[in-house]
């Protein structure tokens, strides 16, 4: 495997791992964010998981479509910075927004569903776009596409597992929720920068010729 | 394999020795088990029977208050001996609200319990009865408190007892929640909270309560793992006033064989906790993790 190819693949896998990590870390913190307004009942978790699943499924769909147009590592980086930017209002205006929802929805089930939707849908959907796009960047030959996709899911889901574990076992014990969220935003921006820099270095279009 | 099976059976029978299971129920939140042993009927929130009992009643004598912490909660009344409007978050077997509304005919109470199955079991097995004085709300305590604040409700007695032996609802132990509770209190209204005496959570919890309420009474009795916090929106009464109130309430509690005077010396207002511990807030609320530390 040429060295440039190898660098690209490692970059994609590292970034996919990070995005898996961040998705689950944010999902776990989501429960904490909603609890002061909607409680920590089972339906609050139901709302969060639903919103994340729906957001991810649309993310996969859109990410897959976007991967059709001249896929490139630099474009890949924009998913990360877009997720970072759309997560900022969640941190800054989360309370105001939940207050607004709380006043309008008496039933905490629909209140928490709407609040989770408004707070987490967009950044999560964007993070979801990363997975299919990663596959596109990694696949060179059709016959290996299954293996590549398997490897990618392996890495990103391991990232999710680690994000879940570290957040729930240690981060919440050491930091405030917003400190963790801001760190995630910074990590996403770093991912963006890495993608841009590596893209510059490699300077080749990736994947099979379309 | 056979040996393993035999050992398992043996362990199960040892674990449940003496406890007769009267009722078992899986709710949305937990396993609820009602057991009977030596004339006591107990509500247990766990899979394992040896876990802490949540509430117990004496089958032959309903006026016998089995749990020390329940009696300690009543001691909170020494700070406000004539409540008229109460809020209780976490109902357990319903004993506390039944006793209080029995003692105070003018007291009306909102009872908030997140788990509908607990209300049902309290009714079916612990003699809990809805009366015109008691309103039961099946909802999250935090959500109820927030709505109550919007409705501008006021209470002169708020009891917080939402913690089971093994899990603490972390959003009910933060500065923001307690500020909400404080805003629901009338001038002179009090909050009585059943909390843990051990673990480093004790320090964090104490710091959090005193950040919101200022000086507290911290009540611990020998032989219990509980600590009851009593706080008020006004200055705490001195020991003489507490004693006088205990004398005044004596006839009311006579049928329950409780003499509140014995709690007065243990109602401590000097912090016996590490005051430099981190506050619990909505942003930082790892209460369950801190408990294990």
Residues 6+ apart with CB under 8 A from B28: A41, A42, B115, B116, B117
Quick check: A172 contacting B, CB < 8 Å?
yes
Q: Catalytic: B58?
A: no
Computed over every residue of chain B, the mean pLDDT equals: 87
Q: What is the ipTM of this complex?
A: 0.85
Q: What domain range is A24 assigned to?
A: 3-129+144-200
pLDDT at B163 over 90: no
Between A193-207, B128-142, B163-177, B250-264, the lowest mean confidence (pLDDT) is in A193-207
Quote the pLDDT of residue B30.
77
Domain presence at residue A72: yes
Question: How does strand B31-37 pair with strand B20-26?
Answer: antiparallel
Is residue B78 a contact partner of residue B267, using CB atoms and an 8 Å limit? yes
Percent of chain B surpassing pLDDT 90: 58
Q: Where are the alpha helices (DSSP H) in chain A?
A: 3-38, 42-66, 73-104, 108-138, 145-166, 172-174, 177-202
Quote the pLDDT of residue B207.
95
- Out of A39, A42, A169, the one facing B143 most closely (by C-beta) is A39
Domain presence at residue A35: yes
- Out of B114, B176, B286, the one facing A36 most closely (by C-beta) is B176
Quote the pLDDT of residue A199.
93
User: Which pLDDT band holds residue B12 (cuts at 50, 70, 90)?
Assistant: low
Quote the pLDDT of residue A44.
94
Measured at the CA of A161, the angle between CA A158 and CA A165, to 5 degrees, comes to: 140
The pLDDT tens digits for B99-144 are 999 999 999 999 999 989 889 988 988 888 889 999 999 999 999 9
User: E strands within B50-124?
Assistant: 53-58, 85-89, 108-113
Mutate to test the interface with B, among A34, A38, A39 (most CBs of B within 10 A): A39
Quick check: A109 contacting B, CB < 8 Å?
no
Domain presence at residue A186: yes
Distance in Å, alpha carbon of A42 to nearest chain B alpha carbon:
7
Quick check: B290 contacting A, CB < 8 Å?
yes
Across-strand partners of B160? B89, B193
Quick check: B3 contacting A, CB < 8 Å?
no
Q: Residue A120: how many CB atoms within 10 A of its CB? A: 27
User: Which pLDDT band holds residue B61 (cuts at 50, 70, 90)?
Assistant: confident
Instruction: Name the helix (H) or strand (E) containing B152.
Output: none
Q: Which of B110, B161, B270, B276 is catalytic?
A: B161
- Going from N- to C-terminal start, the domains of chain B cover 68-292
Closest CA to A12 of A145, A165, A132: A132
Give chain A's residues under pLDDT 50.
205-210
- Out of B28, B29, B142, the one facing A36 most closely (by C-beta) is B142
Closest CA to B213 of B271, B272, B276: B271
Is residue B95 a contact partner of residue B57, using CB atoms and an 8 Å limit? yes
Rg (chain A; Cα; Å) = 18
CB pairs below 8 Å between A and B: how many? 59
Whether B142 sits inside 8 A of A39 (CB atoms) is: yes
Which residues of A are less than 8 Å from B286 in CB distance?
Answer: 172-173
What is the DSSP secondary structure assignment for residue B285, as one 8-state letter? -
Quote the pLDDT of residue A209.
42
Q: What is the dihedral of CA B35, B37, B39, B44, to 10 degrees?
A: -30
CATH code for position A165: 1.20.1250
Whether A39 sits inside 8 A of B174 (CB atoms) is: no
User: Which pLDDT band holds residue B11 (cuts at 50, 70, 90)?
Assistant: low
Would you call B135 helix, strand, or coil by DSSP?
strand
Structure tokens at A72: 């490139």
Quote the pLDDT of residue A109.
92
DSSP character string of A75-112: HHHHHHHHHHHHHHHHHHHHHHHHHHHHHH--SHHHHH
Whether B174 sits inside 8 A of A36 (CB atoms) is: yes
Domain presence at residue A139: no
Quick check: B162 contacting A, CB < 8 Å?
no
Percent of chain B surpassing pLDDT 70: 89
**Phi first, then psi: what are they for B192, rounded to 5°?**
-120, 120
Quote the pLDDT of residue B36.
84
Across the range B231-259, mean pLDDT stands at: 94
Q: What is the dihedral of CA A41, A182, A165, A112, to 10 degrees?
A: 20
Domain presence at residue A134: no
pLDDT at B13 over 60: no
Domain presence at residue A182: yes
Quick check: A108 contacting B, CB < 8 Å?
yes
- Out of B140, B177, B290, the one facing A108 most closely (by C-beta) is B140
Give Cα separations from A57 to A60, A90, A149, B152 (angstroms). 5, 21, 16, 43
CATH H-level, domain B68-292: superfamily:
Vaccinia Virus protein VP39 (3.40.50.150)
**Phi first, then psi: what are they for B31, rounded to 5°?**
-90, 130
Domain presence at residue A13: yes
Quick check: A36 contacting B, CB < 8 Å?
yes
Domain presence at residue A137: no
User: Which pLDDT band holds residue B20 (cuts at 50, 70, 90)?
Assistant: confident
Domain count, chain A: 1
Closest CA to B71 of B85, B56, B60: B56
Measured between CA atoms, the residue of chain B closest to residue A174 is B284
């Amino acid at each position: 495997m040429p060295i440039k190819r190898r660098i690209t693949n490692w970059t994609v896998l590292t970034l996919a791992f990070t995005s898996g990590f961040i998705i689950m870390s944010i999902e776990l913190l989501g429960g904490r964010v909603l609890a002061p307004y909607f409680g920590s009942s089972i339906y609050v978790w139901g709302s969060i998981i639903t919103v994340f699943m729906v957001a991810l499924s649309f993310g996969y769909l859109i990410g897959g479509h976007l991967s059709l147009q001249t896929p490139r590592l630099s474009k890949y980086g924009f998913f990360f910075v877009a997720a970072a930017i759309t997560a900022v209002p969640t941190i800054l205006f989360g309370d105001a927004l939940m207050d607004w929802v709380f006043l309008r929805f008496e039933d905490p089930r629909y209140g928490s569903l709407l609040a989770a939707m408004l707070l987490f849908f967009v950044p999560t959907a964007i993070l979801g776009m990363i997975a299919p796009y990663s596959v596109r960047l990694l696949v060179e030959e059709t016959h290996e596409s299954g293996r590549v996709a398997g490897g990618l899911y392996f890495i990103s889901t391991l990232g999710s597992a680690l994000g879940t574990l570290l957040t729930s076992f240690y981060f919440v014990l050491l930091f405030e929720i917003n400190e963790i969220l801001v760190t995630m935003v910074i990590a996403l921006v770093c991912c963006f920068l890495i993608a841009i820099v590596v893209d510059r270095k490699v300077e080749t279009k990736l994947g099979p010729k379309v | 394999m056979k040996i393993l099976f035999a050992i398992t059976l043996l362990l199960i029978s040892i674990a449940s020795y003496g406890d007769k299971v009267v009722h078992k129920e899986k709710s949305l939140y937990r396993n609820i088990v009602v057991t009977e042993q030596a004339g006591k009927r107990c509500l247990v929130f766990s899979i394992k029977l040896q876990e802490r009992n949540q509430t117990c009643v004496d089958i032959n004598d309903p006026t016998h208050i089995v749990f020390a912490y329940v009696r300690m909660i009543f001691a909170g009344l020494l700070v406000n001996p004539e409540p008229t409007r109460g809020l209780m978050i976490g109902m357990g077997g319903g004993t506390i609200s039944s006793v209080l509304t029995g003692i105070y005919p003018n007291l009306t109470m909102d009872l908030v319990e997140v788990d509908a199955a607990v209300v049902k079991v309290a009714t079916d097995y612990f003699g809990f009865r809805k009366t015109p004085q008691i309103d039961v709300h099946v909802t999250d305590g935090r959500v109820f408190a927030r709505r109550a604040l919007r409705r501008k409700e006021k209470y002169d007695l708020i009891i917080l007892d939402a913690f089971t032996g093994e899990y603490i609802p972390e959003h009910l132990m933060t500065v923001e929640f307690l500020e909400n509770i404080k805003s629901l209190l009338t001038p002179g209204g009090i909050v009585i909270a059943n909390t843990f005496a051990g673990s480093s959570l004790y320090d964090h919890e104490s710091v959090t309560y005193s950040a919101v309420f200022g000086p507290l009474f911290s009540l611990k009795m020998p032989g219990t793992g509980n600590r009851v916090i009593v706080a008020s929106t006004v200055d705490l009464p001195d020991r003489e006033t507490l004693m006088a109130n205990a004398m005044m309430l004596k006839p009311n509690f006579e049928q329950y064989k409780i003499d509140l005077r014995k709690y007065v010396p243990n109602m401590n207002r000097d912090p016996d906790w590490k005051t430099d511990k981190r506050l619990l807030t909505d942003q930082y609320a790892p209460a369950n993790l801190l408990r294990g530390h």
